[in-house]
Amino acid sequence: MKNSRKRNINPAELYKKNYTNKDGIWTSEGAREIYEQMDAFQRQCDLEGKSYIEIEVYSEILGKKSGYVRGLGRARTRDEIEAMRAAREKDLQEFAKKQAEMEATLRDHREEQQVEQERIRLEQEERMNREQEHMRVEHEERMQKEQERLRAKYKGAGEEKCPL
């Protein structure tokens, strides 16, 4: 949190500001004790080199219920946030795994499709070659029959009259 001078206010100081009057006198002895506990907690964290967030200070000293931190109202604690983050990370990993599986399946289907298309192309090419060969053989047979017919027609007439 920040005050009007834009400098950071730690959670204990914010609590103090809320529970003292203009003259700096505590509104209750209990509020002063809570402030001292908060201040001690923050100092201990600083000495140990641990970081803390406002919600941790309030929930550590004032206690918490599920989804509610005394002094702050409805809020998520770091544990809840970490649990949500872990669940989200797990979901993302599962999604990435499913996506990879789907992409692999898609690749397999595309490869199968390419193999099938190549098989069909080769079958068509083979069929075309057979048909061309069949047509060539039929053409040669017709030409040979036509030549034989013409030879037979001109056989008695002499070789000079035969156009073949």
Domain extent listing, the chain: 11-75
- Cα–Cα distance for residue pair 29/35, rounded to 1 Å: 10
What pLDDT score was predicted for residue 125? 96
CA angle 52, 54, 60 (to 5 degrees): 75
How many CB atoms neighbour CB 19 within 10 A?
A: 16
Residue 15 banded pLDDT, cuts 50, 70, 90: confident
Write the pLDDT tens digit of every residue in 56-107. 666 666 666 555 555 555 555 666 777 788 889 999 999 999 999 999 999 9
pLDDT confidence tier of residue 3, bands split at 50, 70 and 90: very low
2: its two tokens: 């920040």
Taken in order 57, 1, 16, 19, the sign of the CA dihedral is negative
- The pTM for the full model equals 0.38
pLDDT at 37: 83
Pairing state between β 64-65 and 68-69: antiparallel
